[in-house]
């Protein structure tokens, strides 16, 4: 199976390196500029429970490099989806499985919109609870082990199964599930409860579980997400307890949103908190705590942007 990965941040490097070590090196797609030959780089993975791992991966900037890929994994930030996919669109085969493993809601719909000529049945959604932190240009720390769930795509069930097998062989346990929306909302509740607070308070995940003030806000957010999910037919089992448990289990981790806010990069607030608020309003549900977090994060990003930080 030929796999290409769009996105060379923490998760892209982690998935790419582990696939390269255990299965077959994927092609890492970088900012497209045409005519540039793939460049091979050494990628290193650190983890707390194993020695460092290394492998060499090809990084391609020429859009034609994606020709022949059986699967394209989309791992860019949610807000970058359309622009990131645009250069590669003319070179994707109609048989290629395009799978989003991004944070938040609406990612499959974004991919479908960005690839209007691609068969909808070959565009799938997934969710992963693996955690990674980029610690160098091509070095990543595997900071939390989890599971990856892949949703059904009508046209390529065999390819999805092969991808799940490849990820599992690479040490990233994966399954194909018919109810992918359940997994997406479950992770969304955790992300919404933890990420915004860690970003605004400037703390590691563990503070959400150990500080009563933050735990109270996280609990309120998780319950608001669950209320919106219920309107869409998704029932979350005690999402507040799950979020606090995840915060405790990943106590030393720093959320991607916290890192984005600290470094002045654009966060995924729109795909996480903003998406919840939008769907809540459409359903006539109040989500005051989630809406407040979204407003505060956007305000911070706006101030940083105006300062030019």
Q: Determine the Cα–Cα distance for residues 178 and 181; give it in Å rounded to an integer.
A: 9
Active-site amino acid positions: 187
Q: Write the DSSP symbol of residue 3.
A: E
Q: Identify the bridge partners of residue 54 per DSSP, sorted by sequence position.
A: 44
In the block, which residue shows the tokens 């092969």? 162
* Cα 290 from chain centre: 20
CA distance 185 to 274: 14
- To 5 degrees, how large is the angle CA 147–CA 60–CA 117? 75
Q: State the Cα–Cα distance between residues 229 and 98, nearest whole angstrom.
A: 25
Strand partners, 149: 127, 175
Contact 257, 269 (CB under 8 A): yes
């Amino acid at each position: 199976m030929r796999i290409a990965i769009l996105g060379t941040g923490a998760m892209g490097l982690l998935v790419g390196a582990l696939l390269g070590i255990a299965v077959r090196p994927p092609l890492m797609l970088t900012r497209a500029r045409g005519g540039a030959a793939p460049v091979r780089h050494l990628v290193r993975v650190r983890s707390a429970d194993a020695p460092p791992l290394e492998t060499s991966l090809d990084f391609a900037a020429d859009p034609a490099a994606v020709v022949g890929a059986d699967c394209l994994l989309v791992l860019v930030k949610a807000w970058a989806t359309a622009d990131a996919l645009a250069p590669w669109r003319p070179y994707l085969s109609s048989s290629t499985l395009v799978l989003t493993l991004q944070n938040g809601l609406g990612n499959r719909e974004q991919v479908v919109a960005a690839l209007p000529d691609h068969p909808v049945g070959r565009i799938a959604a997934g969710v992963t609870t693996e955690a990674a932190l980029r610690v160098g240009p091509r070095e990543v720390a595997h900071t939390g082990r989890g599971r990856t769930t892949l949703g059904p795509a009508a046209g390529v069930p065999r390819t999805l199964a092969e991808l799940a097998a490849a990820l599992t062989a690479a040490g990233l346990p994966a399954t194909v599930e018919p109810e992918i929306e359940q997994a997406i909302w479950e992770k969304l509740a955790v992300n919404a409860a933890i990420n915004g607070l860690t970003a605004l308070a400037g703390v590691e995940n563990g503070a959400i579980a150990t500080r009563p003030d933050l735990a109270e806000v996280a609990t309120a957010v998780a319950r608001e997400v669950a209320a919106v999910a219920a309107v869409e037919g998704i029932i979350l089992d005690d999402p507040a307890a799950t979020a606090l448990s995840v915060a405790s289990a990943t106590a030393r981790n720093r959320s991607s949103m916290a890192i984005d806010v600290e470094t002045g990069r654009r966060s995924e607030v729109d795909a996480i908190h903003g998406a919840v608020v939008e769907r809540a309003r459409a359903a006539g549900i109040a989500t005051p705590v989630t809406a407040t977090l979204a407003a505060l994060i956007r305000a911070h990003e706006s101030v940083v942007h105006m300062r030019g930080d």
